Chains A and B, each alone.
Chain A
Amino acid sequence: MIGFRLSAQQPPEPERVNDTVVKRFDHVYEVDPALMQEHVRQHEFPAWETKRIVDGRWDHLDWMHAHWADRVLSGEELLAESAQPDQLDDEGVRPE
């Protein structure tokens, strides 16, 4: 069992992204705390809680994809195939 770890509790210092947004973790954005002073106060989150919420969001989106269809096609892969028209696709068919 892993016990108390400071890094799991203490979020890193925010890094400014633009005039209104900061981030503490990659791809996790927060409203600039200076804009949450008068009417809505920003919650203080332990680092693990932020990561849990973000992971939960991705789980939810994955679930929604699986709910609607068996597989999701990648546009990036299709564009790469189209850029190399001589290759066969994964069903062995020559792309159009």
Chain B
Amino acid sequence: MTATMVTDPVINELVQICGTDHVFADRSARVNRARVPAPFPVHRWADLIPDVVVLPTSPEQIAEVVKLANRHRIPVVPRAGGTGLTDGAVPLRHGILVDVKLMNEILEIDLEDRAVTVQPGINMLKLNEELRPHGVIYPDDPASYPCSLVGGRIGTSGWSLIGGRYGHTRDLVISFELVLPTGELIRVGDGGGRKVRKSSSGYQLKHLFMGHQGTLGIVTEATLELVPRPETEFAAFFSYPDYETAWRSTAALARSGLATLAGVVLFDEWKLAYLRRDDEAYIPQPDSVRCVVATAMYGTTDEVRPAAKRLLRIGQESGGNYLGDEISQGDWASRHDRYATPLHGRLRDGQVVPMSWHCEDASINWTALPQVRREWHDIVAQLADRYPIFDDWGMFAYTNGAFKPWGDYLTEIDVGIWEQELDDESWAAWVDAKRDIAAVALAHGGSISACHGSCREGEVDLVPQEMGGGFEVMKKVKRALDPNNIMNPGKYLLDQAYEGGDRL
């Protein structure tokens, strides 16, 4: 079992590994790397501060830091952009925080085999600015597109707004190199080739080391897919008088079979009410606009232009009313960058209060969306009735399948939280609500999370239920690869892997 043991001699060793300028034990460096944008128990901030921060500049330095951590049984927590909406980068047990932001170089652009190799600290927007002169992009497009980093996307196994066309992070990362919890440096992919997209050789280890929230290692390099930069973008937003019509139209659009369709997004009535309150695009909309469905396409002009006409026809024939170019184009452009949106919420009397944004997400099949929506809003309503520091900001359902945007949906309920007012009681109520939200997802045949991960307080309690026998395998893998439980301990209930001596 790990405990905090970062002493001056350990810091001296870290300085020898990373250099004086890359080791920080001062309070501001540590405090600012405690939290992520998800709701955070600010009243317990001090419990979650790392003991020391290192910013390595090479894979070898990371490997040496991890070996040191094993020698001294010190927790190691990897951190990239720190933009995740579960607590993968939050140091639950203090220890050494490995911040990879200085490893942000492009190592190779291969236009022949269509792959770019980067370090984990590079951001997708900055990467695509560098790729633009070459006529290619790396199309991984989360709501944190301008601020999240490639390493974190792998650690989360992220979801992309345009994944229906181009795939999600797991589909776009061809292979990557990582430091295992015992300090060895390995590369995983489909088989062994760095730029091979499909192999039947050996175990498919790429997926094992994606989405582990930092519990199985630290990514040091990644080889990513390159696709032609789109000639043309088309976004169409439709309005509907009721949820039922919008829900059915969502399916009609998603099942259109149009290859350039990048995504379909369903906004429910609560979301419209929230947007009509504060969003300049929706404030002027008439009351008859109760729900919205957003669509977007990318590709060559020859593909997108006729497909867009068909998409407009499907939207209208299934009950939608095209909302116009200004809202369609403007709102779509803003969806690449939701973290820049200044946020406030309301108390029941309408007074504005500062609130942070959080969304609980799940993977839900289309048929279950209406019932999940009802049950989730009931849970948040009961929470907000007891604690007015919570505010229901409505729900989205995004197409979730890679390349085939139908079937299941990234379903999220956005909740505003007045964090400064949190205390133990309201935090416990929030955690209970999160657990209830996850339980609804599982009861309807879904998965607890489509894109954030499910290791935060509350929902994590149900991960063994979701994974079934697979959770026992997770524990065996964790203990085999991380015998000293130094790699991001406390996440995903994986401390259980170390209970019971040699039983595992």
Q: Which residues of A contact B (CB under 8 A)?
A: 17-18, 20-21, 27-29, 31, 35-40, 58, 60-62, 64-65, 67-76, 78-79, 81-82, 89, 91, 95-96
Which of B234, B277, B313, B322 makes the CB contact (< 8 A) with A72? Answer: B234
Contact status B322-A75, CB under 8 Å? yes
Contacts of A35 in B (CB 8 A): 346, 350-352
- Looking at the complex, which of B207-215, B225-233, B487-495 is the stretch in contact with chain A? B225-233
Extra pairs beyond A58-B330, A73-B233, A75-B235 (8, CB < 8 Å): A21-B277, A27-B280, A35-B351, A39-B354, A64-B333, A69-B231, A79-B312, A82-B313
Given A73-B233, A74-B325, A78-B309, A68 and B350 touching (CB < 8 A)?
A: no
- Minimal Cβ-Cβ distance residue in A for B297: A73
Q: How far is the CB of A42 from chain B (nearest CB, A)?
A: 9
Are A28 and B280 in contact, with the CB atoms below 8 A?
yes
Whole-angstrom distance between the alpha carbons of A67 and B353 in the complex? Answer: 34
- Total inter-chain residue pairs, C-beta < 8 Å: 113
Q: Is A17's CB under 8 angstroms from B283's CB? A: yes
User: Are B333 and A65 in contact, CB atoms less than 8 angstroms apart?
Assistant: yes
> Of all chain A residues, which has the CB nearest B323?
A75
Please give, as numbers and ranges, the residues of chain B lying within 8 Å of A91 by CB-CB distance.
301
Is B329 interfacial (CB-CB < 8 Å)? yes
Contact with A along B289-305 (1 / 0, CB 8 A): 00000000010010011
Are the CB atoms of B232 and A73 closer together than 8 Å? Answer: yes
With both beta carbons as reference points, the residue of chain A lying nearest to B420 in the complex is identified as A39
Per the bound structure, the CA–CA distance linking A96 and B334 in Å amounts to: 31
Residue B278 lies at the interface, judged by CB distance under 8 Å to chain A: yes
- Taking CB atoms, residues of chain A closer than 8 Å to B334 are 61, 64
Contact pick for B353, options A18, A39, A60, CB 8 Å:
A39
Known: A29-B280, A64-B337, A76-B325. A96 touches B350 (CB 8 A): no
Of B233, B313, B347, B353, the most chain A CB neighbours within 10 A belong to B233
